């Protein structure tokens, strides 16, 4: 892959908010945002919406990525 194509691929990625929840056990992605700060400004609204639906927030990430799915079912580990 040449350098110009690599740079194009990199610029296709946006800033996404990833929120991991329990009850239900999902990872939700919200985005994409132009900048980290846009995502940071919006994150509390998504957290509030999920909490109002009864979800327990386990982790929040703001990352530059391109998720394949916006909602991912997280299977719990069993011993």
Q: Tell me which residue range forms the domain holding 32.
A: 28-79
How crowded is the C-beta side of 51, counted as CA atoms within 13 Å? 10
Asked if residue 64 belongs to a domain, the reply is: yes
Token pair for 37:
């700060």
How far, in Å, CA of 26 to CA of 37, rounded?
24
Token pair for 26:
């999902």
Asked if residue 23 belongs to a domain, the reply is: no
For residue range 20-65, list pLDDT tens digits in order: 999 889 999 999 999 999 999 999 999 999 999 999 999 999 999 9
Residue 30 pLDDT: 97
What's the structural domain count of the chain?
1
Give the distance, in angstroms, between the CA of residue 60 and the centroid of all CA atoms in the same chain.
Answer: 8
Three-state SS for 14-39 is: EEEEEEEEECCCEEEEEEEECCHHHH
């Amino acid at each position: 892959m040449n350098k110009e194509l690599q740079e194009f691929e990199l610029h296709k990625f946006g800033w996404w908010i990833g929120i991991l929840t329990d009850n239900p056990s999902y990872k939700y992605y919200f985005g994409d945002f132009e900048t980290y700060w846009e995502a940071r400004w919006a994150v509390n609204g998504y957290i509030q919406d999920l909490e109002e639906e009864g979800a327990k927030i386990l982790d929040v990430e703001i990352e530059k990525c391109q998720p394949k799915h916006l909602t991912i079912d997280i299977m719990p580990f069993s011993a």
